Structure 1
Amino acid sequence: MKQSYLLYLLFFVFFFSLSSCEDSSSETTTDNTVFEQEKELQNVAYGDDTQQKYDIYLPKNRSAAKTKAIVLVHGGAWVEGDKKDMKATYDYLKIFATEYAVVNINYRLANFTRQPFPMQTDDIRMVLEDLKNKSQEYGIMNQYALVGVSAGAHISMLYSYKYDTENNVKAVVDVVGPTDFLHTSYTSSQNPEVQQAAIGIQLLFGKFFQGNSNYYENISPKYAVNNQSPPTIMFYAGEDTLVPFGQGEVLRETLESFGVANNYHFYPNVGHELDDASIADVLTKSTTFIKAHLK
Structure 2
Amino acid sequence: MKPIKSLIILLLIVVTNYSCTSDSNSDGNDFVDLEAYVALDVPYGDDESQTYDIYLPAHRDEDTKTLILVHGGGWTSGDKNDMNGFIQLIQADLTDVAILNMNYRLVDEATQAYPTQINDITAVVNQLNANLDTYQISSDFGFIGTSAGAHLAMLWSYAFNNSDQAKMVCSIVGPTNFTDPEYLENTSSDTLLLLTQLYGLDLTTEFLETVSPYHQVTEDAPPTILFYGGKDPLVPVTQGSALQTKLQELGVMHEYTLYPEEGHGWAGLELLDTWSKLKGFINENLL
TM over 0.5: yes
Q: Could you tell me which residue of structure 2 aligns to residue 197 of structure 1? A: 191
Whether the aligned pair in 2 keeps the contact of 1:35 and 1:63 (CA below 8 Å) is no
The alignment's TM-score, normalised by the length of structure 2, stands at 0.86
Residue 28 (structure 1) shift: 11
In 1, the alpha carbon distance for the partners of 2:255 and 2:190 equals 29
Q: Could you tell me which residue of structure 1 aligns to residue 238 of structure 2? A: 246
Q: Could you tell me which residue of structure 2 aligns to residue 128 of structure 1? A: 125
After superposition, the C-alpha distances for 1:140-194 in whole angstroms (9 at most, x for unaligned) are: 111110000000000000000001111100000000001000012212348x4xx
The residue type equivalent to 1:122 in the other structure is: N
Deviates more, 1:35-44 or 1:253-262: 35-44
In 2, the alpha carbon distance for the partners of 1:118 and 1:276 equals 37
Residue 278 (structure 1) shift: 2.8
SS at match of 2:112: coil
Residue 247 (structure 1) shift: 0.2
Q: Could you tell me which residue of structure 1 aligns to residue 249 of structure 2? A: 257
Whether the aligned pair in 1 keeps the contact of 2:159 and 2:217 (CA below 8 Å) is yes
In 2, the alpha carbon distance for the partners of 1:280 and 1:240 equals 19
In 2, the alpha carbon distance for the partners of 1:28 and 1:261 equals 38
Q: Could you tell me which residue of structure 2 aligns to residue 17 of structure 1? A: none
Match of residue 272, structure 1, among 251, 260, 264: 264
Structure with bigger helix share is: 1
SS at match of 2:257: strand
In 2, the alpha carbon distance for the partners of 1:189 and 1:276 equals 32
Pair 119,263 (structure 1): closer, same or farther in 2 beyond 3 Å: same
Unmatched tracts of structure 1, length 5 or more = 1-23
Match of residue 51, structure 1, among 49, 52, 65: 49
Q: Structure 1 stretches (4+) deviating beyond 6 angstroms? A: none
Q: Could you tell me which residue of structure 1 aligns to residue 181 of structure 2? A: 184
Whether the aligned pair in 2 keeps the contact of 1:35 and 1:139 (CA below 8 Å) is no
Q: Could you tell me which residue of structure 2 aligns to residue 90 of structure 1? A: 87
Match of residue 171, structure 2, among 174, 183, 186: 174
Whether the aligned pair in 2 keeps the contact of 1:35 and 1:62 (CA below 8 Å) is no
* 1:292 and 2:272 matched: no
1:90-239 map, 5 Å: 90-189=87-186, 192=188, 195-209=189-203, 212-239=204-231
Pair 28,236 (structure 1): closer, same or farther in 2 beyond 3 Å: closer
Whether the aligned pair in 2 keeps the contact of 1:146 and 1:172 (CA below 8 Å) is yes
Whether the aligned pair in 2 keeps the contact of 1:197 and 1:241 (CA below 8 Å) is no
The count of corresponding residues between Structure 1 and Structure 2 is 262
> Which one scores higher on RCO, CA 8 angstroms, separation ≥ 6?
2
SS at match of 2:255: strand
Pair 228,39 (structure 1): closer, same or farther in 2 beyond 3 Å: same
Unmatched tracts of structure 2, length 5 or more = 1-25
SS at match of 1:70: strand
In 2, the alpha carbon distance for the partners of 1:116 and 1:52 equals 14
Deviates more, 1:270-279 or 1:115-124: 270-279
Residue 208 (structure 1) shift: 4.6
In 1, the alpha carbon distance for the partners of 2:172 and 2:201 equals 25
Residue 245 (structure 1) shift: 1.2
The alignment's TM-score, normalised by the length of structure 1, stands at 0.84
SS at match of 2:39: strand
After superposition, the C-alpha distances for 1:70-102 in whole angstroms (9 at most, x for unaligned) are: 010000000000011000111110111111101
The residue type equivalent to 1:118 in the other structure is: P
CA RMSD of aligned residues (A): 2.0
SS at match of 1:51: coil
In 2, the alpha carbon distance for the partners of 1:137 and 1:43 equals 17
Pair 290,207 (structure 1): closer, same or farther in 2 beyond 3 Å: farther
Identity of aligned residues (%): 36
After superposition, the C-alpha distances for 1:176-231 in whole angstroms (9 at most, x for unaligned) are: 001000012212348x4xx133222222221355xx00000000001111111000
In 2, the alpha carbon distance for the partners of 1:157 and 1:173 equals 8
Whether the aligned pair in 2 keeps the contact of 1:144 and 1:170 (CA below 8 Å) is yes
